[in-house]
Amino acid sequence: MAALRQVQQQRMLQKLSPQQIQLVKLLEVPSIEMTERILKEVDQNPALELGDPFESEQDENFGYDNSDGGTNEDFSLGDYASEDDMPDYRSQLPQGKSTEDWKEWIPVSSNMTLNDFLLDQLSVQELDEDRRKVAEFIVGNVDDDGYLRRNAASISDDLSTILCIDVPEKDIAELIELIQQFEPAGVGAADLKECLLLQLRRKPQTKAIGQTITLLENYFEEFSRKHYESILKKMDCSMEDLKLMTKEVVKLNPKPGNLFGSVMEESKEQVVPDFLLDNNDGILQLSLVNGTVPELHISRGYVEMVNDYKSSAKNQTKETKEALQFAREKVDAARWFIDAVKQRQETMIRTMQAIVDYQYEYFLDGDEKHLKPMILKDVAERTGYDISTISRVSNSKYIQTEFGVFPLKYFFTEGMQTESGEEVSSLEIKTILQQSVDGEDKKNPLTDDQLSTILTGKGYVIARRTIAKYREQLGIPVARLRREI
């Protein structure tokens, strides 16, 4: 057995500084969340305050003298270590603003979730405590689309395992039927067919509604696949009757829960642009939208206390030294955070400017034909940043132009060549594909082979399988499912 021994090695390791870590995290934060992120940091760090930075010669060094090397043993806070004293940053807020004042500016709108809405309706039902508990469990299994995709047997097993309650499947089925009577119509259905039927049965029972119910009950598979000839034969109805039934189905909501916020999020996120691009007679001017992001500076009172007590380095107690150590760490953390916010702004504007320069012709008029193929590497080469940095900047960020608000990812597209060898964006091809489908004869929709022929005739050499990929990305169904009567 080999003996244990110590070995000294010298290796080069890549290690991020605290400021770099701050910057990486802040780059991923969109503008709508930036204010809340800053307020959270202000609440956690007493050395960081809201408002305009104070003007002084010490501001370059963030308010305290560090010329002696900044050893922890040289600082003292004296009476500040006493728990009875309230720090200035708690009793005085810059320019009369509090963190709550800033929070009022955060552009977030509240929205009730589907789960909350169903529980509100359940609360007015006359149920005993045990049945109410089971009903609440069932409501908790309704997904964001409004579907209950678990049957009574599965829910019974879950109740037995999770809540240790034995409930007969019959009782669970009755509660499911009760929940299916709630608003919105169609909620609690197991699948699309049941969802549509629940909505139809709430409507006034006219002849057209009755025929539509019969259609979905008996021929849902044929209808979903648009086998109209088979339906006409089996139902012994006219084409006009089938058109009326189709119109009734189109009026229904296939996802009754989509009018509500997600169960996983209590607030509905708004799209707030991070950049603003103005076109002044062909001259593009880019600016960063700071919106309600407040100014930051290091607390003057906090810094002055550190400097005042620095001269009394002798006869310090252990508690005083620890308090001073804490104070200096908070000041350093505040400095790193302010630097990270400034570097975030510089990195974002530099990255977006590179995108604007690369796609200059597109930003002049918004014509998608002028959108060049561009990948993260192209922007990284222009800015000198790493590809991962470009990815963080472009993720969840938006720019407002004269022709709309776009996510930055919109400008990163694949490229391919035309017959003439010109490099074009896949977005241009998708636009032509969408236009071709929009203008087709819906009674005889274009197949992928026909779409490929059309694009080839326009100079875009593209295979049928690529057409199928782009069609799926655009959410366009196959020709058979686009057929109308």
How many structural domains is the chain composed of?
2
Q: Are 298 and 334 in contact (CB under 8 A)?
A: yes
Within a domain: 461: yes
Distances (CA, A) of 420 to 456, 459, 463, 464: 12, 8, 17, 20
Alpha helices in 225-294 (DSSP H): 228-235, 239-250
For the segment 434-441, the average pLDDT, to the nearest whole number, is: 87
For the segment 242-251, the average pLDDT, to the nearest whole number, is: 89
Structure-block tokens of residue 167: 């409930």
Within a domain: 103: no
Q: Work out the pLDDT band at 268, boundaries 50, 70, 90.
A: very low
- From 225, 259, 293, the end of a domain falls on 259
CATH of the domain at 462: 1.10.10.60
Indicate if the pLDDT at residue 56 is higher than 60.
no
Give the pLDDT confidence of 37-48 residue by residue, as tens digits. 888 888 888 888
- From 259, 293, 319, the end of a domain falls on 259
Given phi > 0 = left and psi -120 to 50 = alpha, else beta, which region is 98? Answer: beta
- Exposure class string for 436-456: b at 16+ Cβ within 10 A, else e: bbeebeeeebbebebbbebbe
Whole domain around residue 176: which residue ranges?
A: 114-259
Within a domain: 427: yes
Within a domain: 388: no
pTM: 0.52
Distances (CA, A) of 478 to 15, 315, 442, 455, 467: 51, 83, 12, 17, 11
Within a domain: 279: no
Indicate if the pLDDT at residue 173 is higher than 70.
yes
Within a domain: 142: yes
* Residue in 307, 276, 286 with CA at minimum distance from that of residue 350: 286
Indicate if the pLDDT at residue 465 is higher than 60.
yes
**What integer pLDDT is reported at residue 286 of this predicted model?**
92
- From 208, 225, 259, the end of a domain falls on 259
For the segment 112-121, the average pLDDT, to the nearest whole number, is: 88
Give the pLDDT confidence of 304-322 residue by residue, as tens digits. 766 666 655 555 677 777 7
Within a domain: 228: yes
Within a domain: 245: yes
- Least confident window among 157-171, 183-197, 458-472: 458-472
